Amino acid sequence: MAVTNQPARLVVLISGGGSNLQSFIDACGGDNGTGRLDAKIAAVISNKPDAKGLERASQAGILNIMVDHRAFDSREEFDANLGDVIESFDPDLVILAGFMRILTTDFVNRFIGKLINIHPSLLPAYPGLHTHQRALDAGDAEAGATVHFVTPELDGGPAILQAKVPILADDNATSLAARVLTVEHKIYPAVAQWFCSGRLQMTNGQAILDNEILGQTGRAFSQDNER
């Protein structure tokens, strides 16, 4: 992204609890432990009326909007409307933070290169839903989360940053999801800061950080490499 002295404008899309949204609110307000995010959340948009994240946005004094997918006859119409609402905020970066609707190719192409997602698995393993149960059922020793650029292929866009957590013997999907969320809250604002400071972009379908093409699993997170 072009570096100016204006803070970058973010639009955050949610469907639920909004704990990742909270990590952005906190990082925009000051150092959350992984460095400050020099950005402003221009709007939070939920496709679900009861999303707890809408309250978090209100609490923080951030404009929040509900675009209920059930009010539209098709995915195409929902996505066209959602895209118009997003565009009205002129965002530099659009953040999927627990957003649970698959997006059409037309929508993705409208925002390509400035649309990112966090997925709760070690991509390319377990794209789609129910990732924690699938990792448990497979007997995996590790799980984690991956931040990636969004492309039309579900959870198939180039990876940027990946964090691992151990799977413990007595884990269930709930306990594992909670452990994964703790690392999500560290890696997601850190990636946004890379983007907003001009260090990260998507070019020719590849994620490029500090002029280096990232591999299939992106950069590996460790407590001290994300700044």
Cis before 120? omega within 30? no
For residue 190, what are its two tokens? 């850190």
Q: Tell me the closest approach of the beta carbon of residue 101 to ligand NHR, in angstroms.
A: 4
Taking CB under 6 A as the criterion, the residue among 56, 110, 114, 119 binding ligand NHR is 119
Helix (H) / strand (E) element for 30: namely none
Taking CB under 6 A as the criterion, the residue among 36, 101, 134, 199 binding ligand NHR is 101
**What x/- string results for residues 174 through 203 when contact with ligand GAR is judged by CB under 6 A?**
-------x--x-------------------
Taking CB under 6 A as the criterion, the residue among 24, 78, 99, 195 binding ligand NHR is 99
Question: How far apart, in whole angstroms, are the C-alpha atoms of residue 46 and residue 68?
Answer: 8
DSSP 5: S
Name the segment binding ligand NHR (CB under 6 A); options: 22-30, 146-154, 177-185, 216-224: 146-154
Question: How far apart, in whole angstroms, are the C-alpha atoms of residue 107 and residue 60?
Answer: 28
Most distant pair of Cα atoms in the chain: their distance: 49
Q: Which is nearer to ligand GAR, 8 or 163 (CB)?
A: 163
Name the segment binding ligand GAR (CB under 6 A); options: 18-26, 32-40, 135-143, 157-165: 18-26
Q: Tell me the closest approach of the beta carbon of residue 211 to ligand NHR, in angstroms.
A: 25
Q: Tell me the closest approach of the beta carbon of residue 20 to ligand NHR, in angstroms.
A: 11
Contact between 98 and ligand GAR (CB under 6 A)? yes
Count of CA atoms in the C-beta half-sphere (13 A) of 154: 11
Q: Are strands 64-66 and 142-149 parallel, antiparallel or unpaired?
A: unpaired
Give the neighbor-by-neighbor strand order of the sheet with 142-149: 64-66, 39-46, 8-14, 93-96, 115-119, 142-149, 159-166, 219-220
Taking CB under 6 A as the criterion, the residue among 17, 35, 113, 152 binding ligand NHR is 152
DSSP for 53-81, written as a single string: HHHHHHHTT--EEE--GGGSSSHHHHHHH
Establish whether 130 is a catalytic residue: no
* List of residues contacting ligand GAR (CB under 6 A): 14, 16-20, 53, 97-98, 100, 118-120, 145, 181, 184
Instruction: Kindly list the catalytic residues.
Output: 119
* List of residues contacting ligand NHR (CB under 6 A): 96, 99-103, 108, 117, 119, 128-129, 150, 152, 154-155, 157
